[in-house]
Amino acid sequence: MDQRPVRDRTGRGVRALARRLLGRVEGDSPTPRRSNPDAVVDCAVYVNGRREPGQPHYADAYARTRHGRDAFVWLGLHDPGPAVLAAVGQTFGLDELTVEQALADGHRPTVQRHGPVTLLVLRTAGYVEHDELTDTSEVIDTGDVMVLLGDRFAITVRHGAAGALRSVRADIERRPALLAAGPWAVAYAVCARMVDSYLEVAGHVERDLERVEEAVFARDRSADIQHIYQLKREVVEFKRAVLPLQAPMRTLLEPDGPPRSLHRWFVDVDGRLSRAVDRVAAYDDLLTSIVQSRLAQLAVEQNNDMRKIAAWAAIAATQTGIAGIYGMNFDHMPELAWRYGYAGALTLMAAAALFLYRLFRRSGWL
């Protein structure tokens, strides 16, 4: 039996293997690995709730999720530019409107569905430390974060300095059972962190309110109305970030929302959000009352000042009247020939001034 064809095939396989090994020895380098743009904070693939090693390019990560069950990619972006978002939208199949919404900031909290993609918008809030409250103090720094959810991806787009999500990712990665629920687990983690930040900021604002309230009702009343107005503006901005989230959160509790396994977690977030809303609304009402009280105090202080001015004006008018009469230089005036007429006029003026002063003092005008 002729064995030559078998030897030929074996020889070709050996030579091919040798060429591959030789190429590696001579320094042939593999295709260079793509790197994520600067706007990408983190990118990871999760399988059954556990993170796969490495930080691949978002396109490669999304391609890997298509070949495995219970796998999805979480892409985190911070202030991305139009080019980055356009490339991300093309990779993940986002429509043009979704990309435009993710590019702009300043949106109100909302939940929108664009085909298979769900867009969740939340406002971020962070407390700005300050030594004392002034008429230009920045008390609360706000921004927004958008969560784009698909079958195999979760994309978080954050605008502004507040609301960093690194700790959110680290916390939920320690809970693989929860993260195994898929992209909606990311939405829950982001919502929970935003609501917790609202409660934290509310605690700091409460201390500012206590200091303002003490200054307004103190004996010296050192509170400046402009400082109170500035805190009022900051609380109103905080209120616009927190209160509108109630409607989207209720939408997430509907049957066609997140998976049933996450329903009780979103119910917990909704309960904490209600507490935050109540506290912020109470702070807004309290500040309104403080502003009205301070304005009433200013009105009373101005009224007191006007009464003092009027009292001193009356005292001065008496002296002016007496001096004016004796300054008319008529020929026939009382006491013109009296030796002590000049001293008598001064005595009369002093007596009238003292009488009026004691009268105004007793009535509380001075």
* Per-residue pLDDT reduced to its tens digit, 133-153: 777 778 888 888 999 999 899
Per-residue pLDDT at 189 exceeds 90: yes
> 215 is written with which tokens?
């200054």
Q: Give the pLDDT of residue 190.
A: 94
Of the pLDDT bands very low, low, confident and very high (cuts 50, 70, 90), residue 10 is very low
* pLDDT > 70 fraction of the chain, expressed in percent and rounded: 86
Reported residue count of the chain is 366
Is residue 155 within 8 Å of residue 88, measured between CB atoms? yes
Question: Which run of H or E residues covers position 174?
Answer: none
Residues facing residue 110 across a β-bridge: 121
Per-residue pLDDT at 53 exceeds 70: yes
Q: Give the pLDDT of residue 344.
A: 75
Q: What are phi and psi of 337, to 5 degrees?
A: -95, 0
Of the pLDDT bands very low, low, confident and very high (cuts 50, 70, 90), residue 308 is confident
Q: What is the DSSP letter of 52?
A: P
Of the pLDDT bands very low, low, confident and very high (cuts 50, 70, 90), residue 1 is very low
The 10 Å Cβ neighbour count of residue 181 is 19
Of the pLDDT bands very low, low, confident and very high (cuts 50, 70, 90), residue 299 is confident
Mean pLDDT of 2-28: 40
Of the ranges 112-126, 159-173, 211-225, the best mean pLDDT one: 112-126
Per-residue pLDDT at 108 exceeds 50: yes
Q: How far apart are CA 332 and CA 101, in angstroms?
A: 93
With DSSP H G I counted as helix, E B as strand and the rest as coil, what are the percentages for the chain, rounded to 5? 60, 15, 30
List helix spans (H) across 116-182. Answer: 166-173, 176-179
Q: Give the pLDDT of residue 134.
A: 75
Q: What is the pTM of this model?
A: 0.73
Q: Give, in degrees to the nearest 5, the angle at Cα 323 between 320 and 329.
A: 135
> 289 is written with which tokens?
């009352």
Q: Give the pLDDT of residue 274.
A: 93
Pairing state between β 117-127 and 110-114: antiparallel
Walk across the sheet containing 153-159 and list its strands: 50-51, 40-47, 71-78, 153-159, 140-149, 117-127, 110-114
Per-residue pLDDT at 14 exceeds 80: no
